[in-house]
């Protein structure tokens, strides 16, 4: 069983919980996902099954879209309302929420939250946080493609952004820009790449057999795809000769993607990743 399974993650469980349940339901150990969703968040979780676990770096688009709400007047340990309150302050009213949000469009740097899986010095930030250890966080480049207000009263907004963007940190920054303390209140991931909420199934549906996997070949359709003989050269990771214009290609055997190859020099290609 190999392919991509868009899952609707419910609030109250971690992304790892979803993977563990799917391993039990499908009786497959080789399962991963394309991006962690916070336990209180819900929405699209892209699950990779079997050989598809090797395809993550080669998927065409892992940008995300979210709908979030903010809470003003408090700063929390985790940058959302599930964390311990560290500081409180009077709320400065926001007169034009949409105009405030528009200031965050474009490329910018973002400081990842301490309660996150970003690695520093070989350890995840949340491991430092759990042990009350301090560590210098390094700002990361992100891109906000679109952002718009959906409800001024609830401080609800939609944002389309690059992979690696933390909406909790974005909420903190938006609040600060308005002269407030603030954090994220609720979060729904509505899209990962080309996969939306409409493409998702719940764990109950999977348990009842009501699901289908997106084939690896379809997920990698953005690569030019070529059959190659002898396929044993591909399995052994040998360099091959191809006459084509593309610099990266998918090699097929019986309509299944066996490997990703890239141009090394001239018509010679080398193996980047085997998918057998």
Residues noted as catalytic = 38
Q: What is the 3-state secondary structure (H, E, C) of the chain?
A: CCEEEEEEECCCCCHHHHHHHHHHHHCCCCEEECCCCCCCCEEEEEEEEHHHHHCHHHCCCCCEEEEEEEEECEEECCCECCCCEEEECCCCCCCCHHHHHHCCCEEEEECCCCCCCCEECCEEHHHHHHCCCCCCCCCEEEEEEEEEEEECCCCEEEEEECCCCCHHHHHHHHHHHCCCCEEEEEEEEEEECCEEHHHCECHHHHHCCCCCCECHHHHCCCCCEEECCCHHHHHCCCCEECCCCCCEEEEEECCEEEEEEEEEECCEEEEEEECC
């Amino acid at each position: 069983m190999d392919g991509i399974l868009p899952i609707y993650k419910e609030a109250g469980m971690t992304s790892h919980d979803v993977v563990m349940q799917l391993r039990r339901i499908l009786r497959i150990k080789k399962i991963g996902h394309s991006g962690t969703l916070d336990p209180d968040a819900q929405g699209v979780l892209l699950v990779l099954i079997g050989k598809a676990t090797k395809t993550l770096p080669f998927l065409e688009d892992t940008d995300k879209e979210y709908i979030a709400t903010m809470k003003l007047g408090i700063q929390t340990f985790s940058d959302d309302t599930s964390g311990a309150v560290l500081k409180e302050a009077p709320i400065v009213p926001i007169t034009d929420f949409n105009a405030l949000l528009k200031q965050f469009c474009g490329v910018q740097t973002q400081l990842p939250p301490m309660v996150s899986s970003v690695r520093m010095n070989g350890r995840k930030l949340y491991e430092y946080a759990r042990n009350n250890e301090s560590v210098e966080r390094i700002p990361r480049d992100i891109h906000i493609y679109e952002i718009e207000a959906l409800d001024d009263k609830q401080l609800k907004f939609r944002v389309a952004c690059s992979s690696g963007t933390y909406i909790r940190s974005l909420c903190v920054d938006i609040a600060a820009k308005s002269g407030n303390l603030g954090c994220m209140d609720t979060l729904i991931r509505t899209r990962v790449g080309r996969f939306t909420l409409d493409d998702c199934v719940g764990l109950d549906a999977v348990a009842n057999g009501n699901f289908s996997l997106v084939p690896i070949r379809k997920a990698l359709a953005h690569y030019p795809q070529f059959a190659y003989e002898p396929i044993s050269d591909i399995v052994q990771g040998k360099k091959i000769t191809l006459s084509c214009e593309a610099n990266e290609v998918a090699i097929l055997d019986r309509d299944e993607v066996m490997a990703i190859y890239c141009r090394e020099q001239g018509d010679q290609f080398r193996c980047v990743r085997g998918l057998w």
